[in-house]
Amino acid sequence: MEQQVTVLPDIDGIRVITCTGEYDQETLEPLRQAAAQAAADPAVRTIVLDVSKVVFADSSMLNEMIQLRHTGRPLVLAGPLPPQLNRLFDLTSAHQVFTITDSLAAARTL
């Protein structure tokens, strides 16, 4: 599956960044750019990262999610978390750090 980052139109100050495919140190730049733009936009009050279509993520993506969490805006992960990403979260106890919803629709309501 090809790696792709899509930024959906903002609705009520919520920026949705959708991630599809595999993410590691070599393929993370589009996500970094989208995250930086969201963090720099004063109209964005909540960032939703849709990770439901991620098939692989290593610690570099987890680190980017942690950095995004520290931008001063709420970060919500829209799932469900794919098995590989869920395993990474289990190994690192990241479930305790992030707000994770079962769907993009649910993430938009927080």
The predicted structure's pLDDT at residue 110: 87
Number of domains in the chain: 1
Q: What percent of the chain has pLDDT over 90?
A: 95
Identify the H or E element spanning 59: helix 59-69
Is pLDDT of 47 > 80? yes
How many CB atoms are closer than 10 A to CB 107? 24
Taking a C-beta distance cutoff of 8 angstroms, is the pair 80, 52 a contact? yes
Residue 34 structural domain: 4-108
pLDDT, average across residues 68-92: 94
pLDDT band at residue 2, thresholds of 50, 70 and 90?
A: confident
Of the candidates 54, 43, 52, the one whose C-alpha atom is nearest the C-alpha of residue 15 is 43
pLDDT band at residue 60, thresholds of 50, 70 and 90?
A: very high
In degrees to the nearest 10, what's the CA dihedral of 73, 63, 80, 31?
70
Query: What CATH number is attached to the domain comprising 8?
Result: 3.30.750.24
Determine the 3-state secondary structure of 82 from DSSP.
coil
